[in-house]
Amino acid sequence: MRFEPWKTIQLGTGVDLAKALKRARMRISPWARALLASRGFRTASAPTEIALLRVTARQLGFAKGARLSTIYRKLPKLGLALCPAEVGPQLRLQYPEQPPAEFTRIAMEPIRDDEGRLLAFGVDRGRDGLWLGAPHGSPEWWWRGDALGIVAVAPARPSRRPARARSRRTTKRARPPSSRRRGGRAR
pLDDT in tens, 131-181: 999 987 888 888 888 776 778 887 654 433 333 333 333 333 333 334 333
**What is the total count of domains within the chain?**
1
User: Does 24 fall in a domain?
Assistant: yes
User: Does 186 fall in a domain?
Assistant: no
User: Does 176 fall in a domain?
Assistant: no
Query: What number of residues does the chain have?
Result: 187
User: Does 177 fall in a domain?
Assistant: no
User: Does 175 fall in a domain?
Assistant: no
User: Does 168 fall in a domain?
Assistant: no
What global pTM score does this model have? Answer: 0.79
pLDDT in tens, 65-118: 999 999 999 999 998 999 999 999 999 999 999 999 988 899 999 998 888 889
Cα Rg of the chain, angstroms: 21
**Which domain range does residue 131 map to?**
7-156
Q: Residue 109 maps to which CATH number?
A: 3.10.100
User: Does 184 fall in a domain?
Assistant: no
Are 81 and 31 in contact by the 8 Å Cβ rule? The answer is no
Nearest Cα to Cα of residue 141 among 120, 162, 160, 159: 120
Q: Which residues contact 89 (CB under 8 A, 6 or more apart)?
A: 17, 18, 20, 21, 32, 36, 121, 132
DSSP string, 73-124: HHHHHTT-BPBPTTHHHHHHHH-TTPPTTEEEEE-B--EE-TTS-EEEEEEE
User: Does 187 fall in a domain?
Assistant: no
